[in-house]
Amino acid sequence: MPLEKSEAIVLRSYNWSESSRTVVFFSRVFGKLALVDRGGRSLKSKRGRLTSFARLQVTFYSSEKESRGYISDIDLLETFSFERDGSLGRLAYGSAACELLDLLLPEEEPQKTLYDYFAVFLKSVEIVHKRSLPPLFLAFFLRLLAHLGYHPALGCCAGCGRQVVTSDDEAQSDSEEAIATVPFFPERGGVICRTCQAPGDYYISLSAKSFAYLVALQNASLGEAAQVPIMFKDSEPLLEALTRFLAYQVGLKTDLKSLEFLQKLKDTDLT
């Protein structure tokens, strides 16, 4: 078995036997990678210990006969400590990002640019004010969708291509329709104008202000996203729009557990 090495971040792990487990990494060199951690559940293991929310240097034996290789050694490069105010919210948003990557990334397909972006995202979750966490995660969500080829139609109607203009916009042409709320149709891939709406359509009604923020976040850097004033309660319909859009686009049939956890915390100071 050849010995390989890559920087990686743990996405999830699950038990494989009484002493071993399988660990799913997002690795910089190999992309999403599942490796067997033999004896990793034992306290007597002399190998470096796995740490969630950390950049790790993972050395492993790749296997040509089996679908998974075996971890040889682990070195800790950087830990993202979510200990600042709002630690549970930081943990939930970091976990939600890991869930999305685990659900969407193809097996063993290098995604170096996305890996670097993910590492910067986790660092940002560690250091920003807790009020900046909702827009920061929305920006990550949108960038991930774009990187993997899924682009929700936000600037123009997903049906006819007509530009969608909200009542908050100053300039309007005769061919544009100003609306106070924006109907987002997950099944049809984005926003829809009144002309293209059909009876029985399910849509998520976004306020003009929230929609404008979503459009701005689509091309924002993480630093810029952290400055967008979206509170958690305001981010809920935007997160619902993106998760339902994702469900229709890739057949995702489960809600993100980490976001469900955030929902339970919404009336506390912990987010």
Question: What's the CA gap between 100 and 145, in Å, rounded?
Answer: 10
Contact call for residues 80 and 54 (beta carbons, < 8 A): yes
Residue 27 lies in a domain: yes
| Residue 271 resides in a domain | no
Statement to judge: residues 30 and 61 lie in one domain: yes
Q: What CA–CA distance (Å, rounded) separates 168 from 142?
A: 23
Distance CA 21, CA 158 (A): 44
Q: Are residues 114 and 15 in the same domain?
A: no
Same-domain status, 105 and 233: yes
> How high is the pLDDT of residue 82?
92
- Count of structural domains, the chain: 2
DSSP secondary structure letter of residue 174: T
pLDDT for 170: 46
Query: Is residue 100 in some structural domain?
Result: yes
Does 64 share its domain with 89?
no
Res. 171 pLDDT band, cuts 50 70 90: very low
Do 146 and 216 sit in the same domain of this protein? yes
Listed residues 61, 79, 97: the one ending a domain: 79
d(CA 28, CA 7): 6
C-alpha distances in Å from residue 89, one per residue of 79, 132, 230: 17, 11, 15
Does any domain span residue 23? yes
Distance CA 101, CA 185 (A): 24
Higher pLDDT, 127 or 259: 127
Same domain, 75 and 87: no
71: domain CATH number is: 2.40.50.140
Could you list the residue range(s) of the whole structural domain that residue 137 is in? 83-265
* 99 and 213 within one domain: yes
- Say if residue 256's pLDDT is above 80: no
With respect to residue 6, please indicate whether it lies within any of the assigned structural domains.
yes
Radius of gyration of the chain (CA): 21
Q: Specify whether 170 is located in the same domain as 75.
A: no
73/92 same-domain check: no
Q: Where are the extended beta strands (E) located within the chain?
A: 3-15, 21-27, 31-37, 54-61, 69-79, 164-166, 177-179, 181-185, 190-191, 204-207
The mean predicted confidence, pLDDT, of the chain is 85
The CATH number linked to 96 is 1.20.1440.120
The string of DSSP letters for 83-142 reads -SSSHHHHHHHHHHHHHHHHHHPPBT---HHHHHHHHHHHHHHHHS-GGGHHHHHHHHHH
Answer yes or no: do 28 and 136 share one domain.
no
pLDDT of residue 44: 58
Q: Measured between alpha carbons, how far is 46 from 184 in angstroms, rounded to an integer?
A: 52
pLDDT at 172 over 70: no
Q: Indicate if 17 and 53 belong to the same structural domain.
A: yes
* Same domain flag for 66 and 159: no
Of 30, 51, 79, the residue at which a domain comes to its end is: 79
- Tell me how far apart the alpha carbons of residues 100 and 252 are, in angstroms, rounded to a whole number: 10
Distance CA 202, CA 16 (A): 42
Please indicate, yes or no, if residue 204 is contained in any of the structural domains: yes
Average confidence (pLDDT) over 27-43: 84
Confidence check: pLDDT of 268 > 80: no
pTM of the model: 0.87
Q: Residue for token digits 């976004």?
A: 206
Q: Which of 79, 107, 136 is the last residue of a domain?
A: 79
In 3-state terms, what secondary structure has residue 51? coil
The model's confidence at residue 174, banded by pLDDT at 50, 70 and 90, is very low
